[in-house]
């Protein structure tokens, strides 16, 4: 059984004492009101059923502590009979005989379902950023160790009186340099790269498929493959198929003009 807090128990006892005092003060008034009720019309003339009148008078007499008064019977002839109450009706009582209903604190887990709905999203921190930070540290350590044992492929000091021929950009810019040999600088340096970047920005809004399976992401994979192959082909041509004067040569006949 749940233990009732002490402050609630005291409050219930005070309310019970006030109710008893009020009932003792209203007893003379109720006795005076019973006299006109005794002279009321019989059960046949009253609109209130006889069994309800009998129950009401029995309750009042038990409250005063006296014997139950005689009431006219509802049977034919109007003969008055006395009904003895053998035992009071059972009443529901709480701990200590209190009849007040008390509130208690109930843990939320016993009446609420706290199970979270599964979702397919996770927070950026720490699930993503932690992995990226560890990967960045690993690459930094690898580059540091690699640079200790392997020297950088640097050339001699630059001579302003002698320009190397061919003069090539680093390999990651050779694709752009290859475009400059084919188109106007405005087209090769701004329009074509800008269109590619803008298309990559629009890709998540065009392909909204949430699946992680490659067979379900044909648009995204095709777009990425086309751009990677386009840039890779330009870098390969600029690295191995361009000779002196940045002219087109074949490496198996004209030689290889490429240095890291």
Contact residues for 192 (Cβ-Cβ < 8 A; gap 6+): 179, 183
**pLDDT for position 111:** 58
Region 52-64: mean pLDDT is 82
Structure tokens at 243: 């000779």
Do residues 174 and 239 make contact, with C-beta atoms less than 8 angstroms apart? yes
Rounded to two decimals, what is the model's pTM?
Answer: 0.43
**Residues 193, 146 share a domain:** no
Number of domains in the chain: 3
192 and 100 together in one domain: no
Mean pLDDT of 173-183: 91
Looking from the CA of 207 toward its CB, the CA atoms found within 13 Å total: 17
Containing domain of residue 130, as a range? 124-153
Say if 242 falls within a structural domain: yes
The pLDDT of residue 45: 47
The answer to which of 1-10, 168-177, 213-222 has the lowest mean pLDDT is 1-10
Based on the domain organization, do 233 and 203 belong to the same domain?
yes
76 within a domain of the structure (yes/no) = yes
Residues 16 and 93 in one domain: yes
145 versus 152: the higher-pLDDT residue is 145
Q: Report the distance separating Cα 259 and Cα 167, nearest Å.
A: 11
- Note whether residue 176 is domain-resident: yes
The stretch 8-20 carries a mean pLDDT of 85
Averaged pLDDT for residues 34-55: 60
Per-residue buried b or exposed e for 145-182, using 16+ beta carbons within 10 Å of the residue's own CB: eeeeeeeeeeeeeeeeeeeeeeebeeeeebbbbbbeee
Per the CB < 8 A criterion, the answer to whether 166 and 244 are in contact is yes
């Amino acid at each position: 059984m749940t233990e009732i807090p002490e402050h609630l128990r005291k409050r219930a006892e005070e309310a019970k004492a006030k109710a008893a005092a009020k009932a003792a003060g209203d007893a003379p008034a109720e006795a005076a009101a019973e006299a006109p009720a005794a002279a009321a019309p019989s059960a046949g003339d009253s609109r209130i059923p006889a069994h309800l009148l009998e129950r009401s008078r029995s309750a009042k007499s038990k409250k005063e502590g006296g014997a139950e008064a005689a009431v006219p019977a509802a049977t034919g002839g109007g003969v008055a009979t006395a009904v003895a109450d053998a035992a009071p009706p059972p009443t529901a009582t709480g701990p200590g005989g209190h009849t007040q209903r008390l509130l208690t604190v109930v843990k939320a887990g016993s009446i609420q379902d706290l199970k979270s709905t599964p979702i397919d999203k996770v927070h950026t921190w720490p699930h993503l950023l932690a992995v990226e930070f560890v990967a960045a540290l690993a690459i930094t350590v690898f580059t540091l160790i690699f640079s200790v044992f392997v020297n950088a492929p640097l050339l001699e000091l630059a001579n302003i009186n002698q320009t190397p021929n061919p003069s090539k950009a680093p390999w990651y810019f050779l694709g752009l340099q290859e475009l400059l040999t084919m188109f106007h600088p405005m087209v090769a340096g701004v329009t074509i790269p800008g269109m590619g970047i803008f298309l990559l920005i629009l890709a998540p809004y065009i392909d909204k498929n949430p699946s992680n399976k490659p067979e379900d992401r044909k648009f995204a994979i095709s777009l990425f493959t086309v751009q990677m192959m386009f840039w890779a082909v330009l870098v390969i041509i600029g690295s191995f198929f361009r000779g002196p004067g940045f002219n087109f040569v074949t490496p198996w006949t004209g030689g290889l003009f490429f240095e890291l």
